[in-house]
Amino acid sequence: MKLSRQRILFISIWAFLTCGFLVSDFLLENFSLSNKLKYAVVVLCALNAFVQKDDFLKKAAFAATLFADFFIIFTDIYSVGVTVFCAAHIFYFLRNVRDVKKLKIYIVFLFVFLTVLIFAGYLNAIAAFYALCLLNNFFSSFRAGKTIFVAALLFVLCDVFVLAYNLPRPVSAAGLIIWIFYAPSQLLYSISELRNTER
């Protein structure tokens, strides 16, 4: 498939920003600059999604991602970021499935599940709820098209390293690896199309 000039420009800027935060992380150890470049990657991918026609659910997912990543990257209020990321995964799941009956059952199940978990404490509840949303998004991506599947897989791998970094005995190197999976995941989500239109 021949890439348009706009797509080539988008991917080139994404590659430049990604190389920038990798250099900042691994060579310069300038994590303040790295965080700004990482967020710029998310903004770039979101803008690319916003200018595309239709696909409201992808745009909604990126809007949630922008909000969530701001809190996770620039603040210590991680619970807000994780909560909003649940919404992003739900939007992607809805985009993948497109079956009204299944969606109604799924939404009812999610709210029942979350209500039960809240009794275990908000942080524990939202972490478990996030894991459920992440996995539902991943498994629903199998039939949504290869680009969406790879994006979802990279997102799961990213969160494996997020978990490793936040263990009681954290794996410090995991913090540097997270975005190696997350940045390409956002790139692929941004350019993805649903299976009936994806080539």
pLDDT tens-place string over residues 49-99: 999 988 899 999 999 999 999 999 999 998 899 989 999 998 999 899 876
Q: What's this model's pTM, rounded to 2 decimal places? A: 0.90
Q: What is residue 166's predicted lDDT score, i.e. its pLDDT?
A: 87
- Taking residues 133-139, report their average pLDDT: 92
d(CA 57, CA 45): 15
User: How does residue 195 score in pLDDT terms, banded at 50, 70 and 90?
Assistant: low
Average pLDDT, the chain: 89
Residue 114 has pLDDT above 70, yes or no: no
Instruction: Write down the number of H helices and E strands in the chain.
Output: 8, 0
Domain boundaries, the chain: 5-191
Burial 29-38 (b: 16+ CB within 10 A, else e): eeeeebbbbb
Neighbours of 166 (CB within 10 A): 13
User: How does residue 115 score in pLDDT terms, banded at 50, 70 and 90?
Assistant: confident
Higher pLDDT, 4 or 42: 42
Q: What is residue 167's predicted lDDT score, i.e. its pLDDT?
A: 87
Condensed to tens digits (0 to 9), the pLDDT of residues 161-180 reads 999 998 888 888 899 999 99
d(CA 116, CA 190): 34
Higher pLDDT, 98 or 198: 98
Question: Percent of the chain beyond pLDDT 90?
Answer: 63
Q: What is residue 122's predicted lDDT score, i.e. its pLDDT?
A: 72
Q: What is residue 4's predicted lDDT score, i.e. its pLDDT?
A: 85
Residue 6 has pLDDT above 60, yes or no: yes
